[in-house]
Structure 1
Amino acid sequence: MTSTGTGADRFPAGTFTPDPRPAAPWKMLAAQARIETLLFLRHGEQQLLSLVIPVALLIAMSLVPVVPLDDPVQQVYPMTVGIALMSAGFTGQSIAVAFDRRYGALKRIGASGVPKWALIGGKVAAVLAAVVVQLIILSIIGLLLGWRPDATGFLAAVVFLAVGVFTFTSLGLLLGGTLGSDVVLALGNTVWFLFMGASVVTVIDQDLPSAARDVLELLPSVALTDGLVDASAGSFNLGGLLVLLVWGVVASTLAVRRFSFTMDDD
């Protein structure tokens, strides 16, 4: 006896349940973004770096009379926003990605059918969600401390925040996706302290030599901080934006080429 029909003829759509098939791209991205966001917000160490430390800096440097600024909160607030964003995008993601690779979590997520773009997109969405939470909390505290932004700088601030998320998340994925977890843990925190220190120095040290300032302004953390400080005052720092974009393009290009979902010994 021979079969005269195809499988589709014998078993029309809906015959078997469940009927497994890939989810719509937006559903995969939304699901991955939700998971990544929940994991990020529940991680105590990451919240210490991305929120607790910036809040402490904002309050201390605005109230304690040791910062040689006429109106400290006007410059300290945007600086702490930049530090918070940098912490979420760079340090938080680099360490999370590195340990996910170490324990095989990324490999298993890939084996489940989640494409690379959905995984990376979910991590970017997690950083965006964290930045929104940071902005709300820091803005409330800043307003209570006397911060008064210039409305004309709103668009500039949005641009710098968006490019900052892109740049520091790219740097985090590059670091966490190419090196071992122990190296990333040490290097990520060290670079974060250096970036934060450079931002703080350029804001509070008004007598910083111009040559030193010119060099520090080439760092992405300083470019982001300067851009947010200027936006808070109603101006647009084009030079800082270009520095951020260069760092972001280079980091994202290298991350795409060198990113590995597993450690070398897997």
Structure 2
Amino acid sequence: MSLDLSPAPGAAPAGRRLRRHAITEATLLLRNGEQLLLALVIPLAILVAGWLAGPRIGIGLDLLAPSVLALAVWSTGFTSCAIATGFDRRYQVLERLAASPLGRSGLIIGKSLAVGAVVLGQCALLGVAALCLGWRPVWSTAAFATAAIALLLACVAFVAAALLLAGTLRAEVVLALANVIYMAGLAFGILPIGTPGWLAFTGWLPTGALGGVFRAASLGYADLTGAAVLAGWALILVLITRKAFRWTS
């Protein structure tokens, strides 16, 4: 029996390609210090600070904890993804990967899977921390199902918005603008801070809708309006991104 050492070129199965790319993307996200700061350190700091100061300002863990979970989704789904993709595009990583057997669709799906995996890990860690601090959400099957659907829709909307930003602007502009938008989303809609009447529109933003759905779920209610708002944003942003995204800078 002879050993055949002749080359046998060919692409790996699609499932394996997507899985390996998603693992690589998730690893790169977690290795970056700035992304780790956005993903865990800032949300955890807000959670602990709110736990200490909440009783004095009238915000309990029943509202603060789900808001911090929404912040974690926003941090990774939009800000981290936009910055990472912007620099991948600048250094022509996207162009090379798009020409590989992974393909353009595989590249986008892999990024989305990576973001989803990191978000689930964030929510698990922050949820355990909130429970240790005394958060006791009211269980409701309908509310939990609505929150899970809203989480999925928010990931789609935030990743689409991140790709839209990263795929149309220079990396330096993406870096600055992504952080500005991150702070705006943090201030308007995600955190349970009372807003004057002229800011009531924040409930119709994807960040405000996600925060509202999570807070309602914490109290045992299903916020179907917020989930519908997220579905609308996800559809609109995906359609715009498909048209506007450019693979090369």
Structures share a fold, TM > 0.5? yes
Partner of 2:225: 239
Partner of 1:184: 174
Larger helix share, 1 or 2? 2
Segments of 5+ residues of structure 1 without an aligned counterpart are: 1-13
The 1:167–1:115 alpha-carbon spacing in structure 2 relative to 1, beyond 3 Å, is same
1:84 equivalent in alignment to 2:53:
no
Partner AA of 2:66 in structure 1: P
The answer as to whether partners of 2:73 and 2:155 remain within 8 angstroms in 1 is yes
State how many pairs are aligned.
245
CA distance in 2, matches of 1:226, 1:232: 10
The answer as to whether partners of 1:156 and 1:235 remain within 8 angstroms in 2 is no
The structural deviation recorded for 1:212 is: 2.5
CA distance in 1, matches of 2:83, 2:11: 30
RMSD: 1.8
1:98 equivalent in alignment to 2:86:
yes
Partner AA of 1:225 in structure 2: G
The 1:35–1:200 alpha-carbon spacing in structure 2 relative to 1, beyond 3 Å, is closer
The 1:150–1:18 alpha-carbon spacing in structure 2 relative to 1, beyond 3 Å, is farther
The structural deviation recorded for 1:102 is: 0.6
CA distance in 2, matches of 1:121, 1:179: 21
1:147 is paired with a residue whose SS is: coil
The structural deviation recorded for 1:111 is: 3.1
The answer as to whether partners of 2:71 and 2:190 remain within 8 angstroms in 1 is no
Q: Which of 171, 193, 218 is equivalent to 2:183? A: 193
Partner of 1:222: 208
The 1:200–1:255 alpha-carbon spacing in structure 2 relative to 1, beyond 3 Å, is closer
Partner AA of 2:199 in structure 1: A
Partner of 2:134: 146
Q: Which of 231, 248, 252 is equivalent to 2:238? A: 252
Tell me the TM-score normalised to structure 2 length.
0.93
CA distance in 1, matches of 2:6, 2:60: 64
Tell me the TM-score normalised to structure 1 length.
0.87
Partner of 1:49: 38
1:217 is paired with a residue whose SS is: helix
Which structure has the larger Rg over C-alpha atoms? Answer: 1
Q: Which of 103, 123, 137 is equivalent to 1:135? A: 123
2:204 is paired with a residue whose SS is: coil
CA distance in 1, matches of 2:54, 2:90: 45
Partner AA of 2:185 in structure 1: F
The structural deviation recorded for 1:171 is: 0.7
Partner AA of 1:242 in structure 2: A
The structural deviation recorded for 1:66 is: 6.4
